[in-house]
Amino acid sequence: MKVIEVAAGVYAIRHEELDLTTGLIVGEDSCLVVDTAGDHVQGSALAKAIREITSNPWQVVYTHAHFDHYYGTSAFMPCDVWAHQAFRFDADEQAKWVAKYREDGKPEIAEAIRDTALVAPTNTFDKTKELSVGRRTVVLQHFGPAHSFSDTVVHVPDARVVFAGDLVEEPGFIAESFGDGDVTQWPAALQALLALDPRVVVPGHGSPVDKDFVAAQREILIAGWTSPR
């Protein structure tokens, strides 16, 4: 696990498994955890790493409803958990990932996923929700279905940092990027993200990037998956 401070009190946390990137936003007397990794073991390791940065009470926000971004939440409970109102999970998907990791020869992760208690959001929002994180404003925004139907962008205006979830992936999209959302709306979601004028964009997988990288990914989506707008 590698912790990168992308702005004062704002961290991208890099994980080896699936090249995942989670996040942390630290305010004066509280903090916000952006995604929690893919099982209770990974979640516990993330919680320990965060406690080395801050002892502030935390809330959690899910960027979307894919297992690798929220199965680790039990390690953070009890706390408030935020997500878009379209967020859904089911036990059948959990069993699918157990089987997949066993087939891939990773029994330890398979067992960790099997033993993970899934945590539903305690709070949901529709289009936008402003949170106060230790007197620091953080804005949750939903720009429509794209990578998934519950994509949540986490904007830290004072730092000009955006956590994009899997709306952005570095070094690039893979076949699994296009699963259960609406790819025809993805370019519009990225345009809305770019309108926030971020200095740093933290992707759901890979290293932090800049606006030019996001703009280039938008062009790839337009060229390969949608009609030009």
Quote the CA–CA distance of 196 and 155 in Å, as a whole number: 8
pLDDT of residue 6 exceeding 90: yes
pLDDT of residue 225 exceeding 80: no
| pLDDT score of 227 | 37
Among the listed residues 159, 192, 226, the one whose alpha carbon sits nearest the alpha carbon of residue 7: 159
Count Cβ atoms below 10 Å from residue 227 Cβ, excluding itself: 7
pLDDT of residue 226 exceeding 50: no
Q: Which SS3 state, helix, strand or coil, does residue 82 take?
A: strand
pLDDT of residue 10 exceeding 70: yes
Average pLDDT over every residue of 2-30: 98
| pLDDT score of 57 | 98
| pLDDT score of 229 | 27
Tens of pLDDT, residues 133-166: 999 999 999 999 999 999 999 999 999 999 999 9
pLDDT of residue 85 exceeding 80: yes
pTM for the full predicted model: 0.95
Better pLDDT: 23 or 173 = 23
CA distances (Å), origin 93, targets 72, 89, 97, 143: 15, 8, 6, 25
Under the banding of pLDDT at 50, 70 and 90, the label for residue 3 is: very high
pLDDT of residue 11 exceeding 70: yes
Among the listed residues 30, 15, 50, 16, the one whose alpha carbon sits nearest the alpha carbon of residue 138: 30
Q: Which SS3 state, helix, strand or coil, does residue 144 take?
A: coil
Judged by average pLDDT, the poorest of 51-60, 93-102, 142-151, 219-228 is 219-228
| pLDDT score of 228 | 35
Q: Are 182 and 167 in contact (CB under 8 A)?
A: no
Domain ranges within the chain, ordered by starting residue: 2-225
Supply φ then ψ for residue 172, to 5 degrees. Answer: 180, 175
| pLDDT score of 179 | 67
Among the listed residues 76, 83, 67, the one whose alpha carbon sits nearest the alpha carbon of residue 31: 76
pLDDT of residue 14 exceeding 80: yes
Better pLDDT: 25 or 177 = 25
Count Cβ atoms below 10 Å from residue 100 Cβ, excluding itself: 14
2-225 domain in CATH 3.60.20.10? no
Better pLDDT: 224 or 136 = 136
Q: Where are the beta strands (DSSP E) in the chain?
A: 2-7, 10-14, 21-26, 31-34, 58-61, 81-84, 123-125, 128-132, 137-141, 153-156, 161-169, 200-205
If you write DSSP's letter for every residue of 210-222 in order, what string do you get? Answer: -HHHHHHHHHHHH
Most trustworthy range by pLDDT among 92-96, 173-177, 211-215: 211-215
Quote the CA–CA distance of 114 and 92 in Å, as a whole number: 11
Tens of pLDDT, residues 103-128: 999 999 999 999 999 999 999 999 99
Q: Which SS3 state, helix, strand or coil, does residue 40 take?
A: helix
